[in-house]
Structure 1
């Protein structure tokens, strides 16, 4: 058998800096004078089962090629392995062990249930798998209440999270020094399945770092005032990079604290609002590990199973395609379908509209988002959809129903975002754009390519209050 090899297995951590698994693997390889190899395993059937979008697959593929170049500069070869789904991963590693002695496998832990089960099966089979916590700043299970239980409400979780974090130092780990001479890259990495188009987003670890630094320096202080307005460039746009691990949450926190060192302890800090968004991401990931059935589509609130959702394919298709007759909803859905991304305020508006105005099961919306989103992430997507539907942890109450007209007036006051994505209404008077229901009564703009509202807001609201009242016991 050949010389033992140390492996770094990349998953949702496609970066060389602040990668604790890579750091540990390189350290072991250097100390024991062993070769280090990197691997990424494509699992097309698993991607399909998990509704991973083709745009995100393209983004991953582009970043694997960036990673391949970065690793080659460190003297490390990146291999692409293939098996259909997670069921074949164990056999893949065991067959590799029969050919080559494996000293250790290092990888970043993932919080989703199938991923946890995959890793546990490898460990039980005797594979030398060493897991590091990469995906959160504070590992799931470390932020608990006095009874040792996971928090069910964000505000006390955020308070406790800050208490723990403020006692720690967050210094991201640097990229390893080269382990050998630079390697040449023979051919680019290419998946065996078709991918979409993610070219609207720049690829590369350096690009993600630059985006982070520019946001913190120029926009983080105004984030609270600007984050809800989709026409403004007021958000970080880092979620696609965080979702696949091109940048780490610890790098985000360290950069924020370098600019606003008081953010963890001072409620008035200009950096506090964006900090809370980073911790919301952590909250949903901690929940996923504390309540594994969330990964399997369970309602966090069991009473959600009693909701009599409507099975209306026509209405669902209109929502998916941006043809509901409510311009703010349609502009948001068209932004998603065109770019693979949607502003967070609009995610709340569109999710509320599907689940409460159309009374369509949140699972269907969650799945559509997952297939379209460049920043697709089970924890955040599930958490956001259950929050909107009223079935989740710390969810908005079932009786809180977003009015798309007032949301439109408040967050796109001059309709510049709407006009960009719904050109059919570009020449309409502002009031008409924000209040499309006035068309139903008839006079102006009765003839238009743009559809009349698919549902009356007041009637839909009453229907939702009736159907969703089964959640009342929990509230």
Structure 2
């Protein structure tokens, strides 16, 4: 039998792994993962994310060992070295075919095209599979054959497809005969990426068992309340699965099937919580399709070209205050503290802090996008870019430019008693539930005199943002 190589990327799991199942079906299989630190640095990947992926690799290596599949580690500073590194490995092991699950950024596509070409020159076949999405990009199109730019229309076509062709879960490979190839040790850390705190690691245990436990627990205990609870950051209303989805420790198919199971197989009727959560899976899908259909978003360009002319402010002191959680607005500072300490931020707050940066401070969304990637354990190009461009009114199906969240009203609405704020800003714990949202109104005698005053006037800065967007030469801002 001819030997197969599965090249693992953002699919660090044994179960429901399309490329792994296909490789194992064709013959004796070996797995490889490329450690590419310079590439990770170029993409701004967070140290806590790199650590999380390494921890998941260790867990996966143990699971693969039980199937007699060795996991090899190869080092290549950047993806430019991937073709040569993989060809060399294939020659060493007499590999017949390489299998990989598709990835969708512009750099990923170029890397895979170069790998395919190099392997073909050595008569080694390269097979790629749909795995991290429910639908092949290019298969969900408008009547004129273009990629959707509006989520609700995209979702409608997805629903029609799900009715007729629900993506199936892929079988897990069975143990194979032992090969004379030993697994490599997974590095504990990578030079240049600081180790996260033990507290952060404890929040995000590695491995498929943990990902599936979270999925099952969410479906059993929280999914029905998801629509009503998901916007309240002090409540356990979300699935906490985003880091596992980004690393491919759990698949969107597994998430979809679990959600459907909790709602008698329905995704348009029945449990409103399950329906809302499935919609979030489809938002994730939508942003990945956007990466393929409109590659400029992979190049740090605005989806809406006219918004490239927004007169963003160069305001390093304001940017630093936002980054360091000292804006004087408790909901913003608490959210940023959550990000800095846990590698994660509640989704409602991601929108609130993004609008504050891009509208109230009128700072370029790319500064925020970059900062998030450098700190998020669930950093994902499509979702992060999509969220930032939505909030800044530069993206597809984005918030209209005149829709600007007030941090104070968001705080009062979604953290009414100030529980979230007081957890992350304990020096505000003595304030009552009215003052905690805006300590400046309480004067300097409230026991938190060291808390800064707001760095910006919300009303005036809102007017400034509206004027900036109205001044754009060709305005089609929704």
8 Å Cα contact 2:303-2:396 kept in structure 1 = yes
Are 1:174 and 2:166 an aligned pair? no
Q: Which residue of 2 aligns with 1:22?
A: 20
**What pairs with 1:79-98 in structure 2 (closer than 5 Å)?**
79-98=72-91
Q: Which residue of 2 aligns with 1:11?
A: 9
Deviations 1:438-474 (A, max 9, x none): 25xx464497111000001111111111112245334
Q: Which residue of 2 aligns with 1:196?
A: 195
Deviations 1:211-269 (A, max 9, x none): 10110111111000000000000000000000010000000001111111343232764
Deviations 1:107-155 (A, max 9, x none): 0000111000111112233152100011111121111111121111011
SS at match of 1:177: coil
Q: Which residue of 1 aligns with 2:241?
A: 238
8 Å Cα contact 1:419-1:425 kept in structure 2 = yes
Q: Which residue of 1 aligns with 2:128?
A: 131
**What pairs with 1:454-469 in structure 2 (closer than 5 Å)?**
454-469=455-470
Deviations 1:188-219 (A, max 9, x none): 44454234324121111011011101101111
Deviations 1:268-326 (A, max 9, x none): 64411101100000000000011111111110000111111111111111101110000
SS at match of 1:271: helix
Deviations 1:33-63 (A, max 9, x none): xx31100001111000000100000000000
8 Å Cα contact 2:133-2:252 kept in structure 1 = yes
Q: Decide which moves more: 321-330 or 179-188.
A: 179-188
Cα shift at 1:437: 4.3
8 Å Cα contact 2:70-2:182 kept in structure 1 = no
SS at match of 1:473: coil
Deviations 1:335-374 (A, max 9, x none): 0000000000000000000001111100000000001000
SS at match of 2:164: coil
**Among candidates 33, 37, 61, match of residue 40 of structure 1:** 33
Could you list the runs of 5+ residues in structure 2 that have no partner in the other structure? Answer: none
8 Å Cα contact 1:57-1:196 kept in structure 2 = no
Q: Decide which moves more: 239-248 or 189-198.
A: 189-198
Q: Following the alignment from structure 2 to structure 1, what is the Cα–Cα distance between the partners of residues 57 and 392?
A: 36
Are 1:448 and 2:441 an aligned pair? no
| CA 269–431 in structure 1, closer or farther in 2 if over 3 Å, else same | closer
Q: Which residue of 1 aligns with 2:396?
A: 393
**What pairs with 1:111-150 in structure 2 (closer than 5 Å)?**
111-125=104-118, 126=120, 127-150=124-147
8 Å Cα contact 1:42-1:191 kept in structure 2 = no
SS at match of 1:38: strand
**Among candidates 124, 128, 151, match of residue 154 of structure 1:** 151
8 Å Cα contact 1:41-1:81 kept in structure 2 = yes
Q: Following the alignment from structure 2 to structure 1, what is the Cα–Cα distance between the partners of residues 247 and 444?
A: 50
SS at match of 1:166: helix
8 Å Cα contact 1:262-1:269 kept in structure 2 = no
SS at match of 2:94: strand
Q: Which residue of 1 aligns with 2:69?
A: 76
Q: Following the alignment from structure 1 to structure 2, what is the Cα–Cα distance between the partners of residues 226 and 395?
A: 23
Q: Following the alignment from structure 2 to structure 1, what is the Cα–Cα distance between the partners of residues 167 and 12?
A: 20
8 Å Cα contact 1:436-1:453 kept in structure 2 = no
SS at match of 2:71: strand
The TM-score with structure 1 as length reference comes to: 0.94
The TM-score with structure 2 as length reference comes to: 0.94
**What pairs with 1:74-473 in structure 2 (closer than 5 Å)?**
74-125=67-118, 126=120, 127-181=124-178, 187-193=185-191, 194-197=193-196, 198-199=200-201, 200-266=203-269, 269-438=272-441, 442=443, 444-445=445-446, 448-470=449-471, 472-473=475-476
Deviations 1:54-94 (A, max 9, x none): 00000000000001000000001000100110111111122
| CA 186–384 in structure 1, closer or farther in 2 if over 3 Å, else same | closer
Q: Following the alignment from structure 1 to structure 2, what is the Cα–Cα distance between the partners of residues 386 and 186?
A: 41
Q: Following the alignment from structure 1 to structure 2, what is the Cα–Cα distance between the partners of residues 170 and 97?
A: 32
